Amino acid sequence: MLIRSISGIRGFVKEDLNRDTIIQYANALHTTLKPGVVYAGRDSRPSGETIIEIMIEELLKRGRTVIYCGIVPTPTIQFMVHTTEAVGGFIITASHNPIEWNGIKFVREDSTFFHLKDCEKLFEAADNFTPDSLHEQEKGMIWEEKNAIYKHTVNCSSLKCINIDKIRQKNFRVVIDAVNGAGSLALPAMLELLGCEVIMLNCEPNGKFTRGTEPLPEHLSELSKQVINQKADVGFAVDPDADRLALVDENGQPLGEEYTLVIAADGYLQAMQTIEKFVTNLSTSLALDKLAASRKCSVERAEVGEINVINKMNDIGANLGGEGNGGVILRECHLGRDSLVAATMVLNRMSQSEDSLSAIYHTLPQYKIVKDKISIKALDKELLLSKVNDLFPGVEKDTSDGVKFIWEDKWIHLRSSNTEPIMRIYAEATSEQEAQELILKIKSIV
């Protein structure tokens, strides 16, 4: 069954993303966007080649001009839309889902992903599409853009919060694990532009995901080993569409995705010396809140989902935001999670002192987050949420996205995934044991 959400559409390649379905969504995208040029790209999954061919073919039939960037990070397409006159774009990717999945992310004229109302309009158009409704038009044109990654990296290296000279002087030694995904060419190019010595791991864009697709600590053992063996300053890992970045310190210790945004924000504040309001989602670490408070800054929370964070950033005029899955969003580049921006900002923080990455990490507020999930195929989701609601009487509660219980130095959040048939349970506390105990309380009533 096709999963449809603010993250676009996602499903199993053979069962859900057949030719007829792809044609439906290509035509729905055409009717949803205003006339003009559309950017297209994909991650490295082999199934993406056929899907993007069908999408482009349909858009050309409708008279669209399509600029195809090939295998590039999702944020590269967003950046290209942001910096041109394009009216939108799309990316063929299933992000962190396994190889048997694929999907389509849809990009608006302002370079953000489709908002909820845009998605509703798009899904309705797809549901009501019939081949009979098509009218013959003069065929559109396709252009290949071979410099998208180069343009993106140059922009990241010239951000106001970045001191490229300082970064280059450090000659950082970096191991990059791109999981053979869309970041396989882009991340090494970004690091080389920043004067780093780059050691590449899983950087063939062939879609052979040799580790778990999410850059979680349990999937980064080979990266950790290489960081130690190569005496590197840092290890970077991304997911298949390269919008998220995880860090491994010089001792081969994974720092967890949560600290990518915190370290980026720390460097940003040191560089800019401004009072900021950051935005993150309900499932992101308290470490960002504590860091912000120590610099007289603040954090506002949004529902989980990149577009929800971006909408909140726009509401309050925030310059920096992101999610605790390794997603950093910097307004100056474009409004989307971007591993190239994240890598540049982390290296910038590392260039601001003589401290190692592990030393920088230990200067930050220390919290332990535990991430778990349960299948909802055999569960009554509403009944479960209702039961959980009564689990911690008298505790501060947020029900804007599932249910989250909040104490001074810990929290637990239960919500439905936007991309998989599961419920996610995230908990954080000052110790892993305490966070795990909170999760066990929830799971005891399933």
Active site residues: 95
* HEC secondary structure over 81-103: HHCCCCCEEEEECCCCCCCCEEE
Altogether, the residues listed in the chain come to a count of 446
Q: For the sheet with 422-429, list strands across it.
A: 368-375, 422-429, 411-416, 403-406, 396-398
- How far apart are alpha carbons 64 and 284 in whole angstroms? 40
Q: Are 44 and 185 in contact (CB under 8 A)?
A: no
Largest CA distance in the chain: 66
Q: Are 342 and 350 in contact (CB under 8 A)?
A: no
The per-residue b/e assignment along 78-93, b for 16 or more CB within 10 angstroms, e otherwise, is bbbbbeeebbbbbbbb
Cα distance between the two ends of the chain: 24
CB atoms inside a 10 Å sphere around CB 444: 8
**Which residue in this structure is represented by tokens 């799309």?**
90
Q: Are 193 and 154 in contact (CB under 8 A)?
A: yes
Which region holds residue 237: left if phi is over 0, alpha if psi is between -120 and 50, else beta? beta
What one-character DSSP code corresponds to residue 113? B
- Give the DSSP per-residue string, 20-78: HHHHHHHHHHHHHSPSS-EEEEE-S-THHHHHHHHHHHHHHHTT--EEEEEE--HHHHH
Count of alpha carbons within 13 angstroms of residue 259, beta-carbon side: 23
The C-alpha angle with vertex 42 and arms to 38 and 44, in degrees rounded to 5, equals 165
Of 202, 178, 205, the residue nearest 190 (C-alpha):
178
- List the beta bridge partners of residue 403: 414
- Give the DSSP per-residue string, 168-236: HHHT-EEEEE-TTSTTTTHHHHHHHHTT-EEEEES---S----S-SS--GGG-HHHHHHHHHTT-SEEE
**Which residue in this structure is represented by tokens 């401290």?**
355
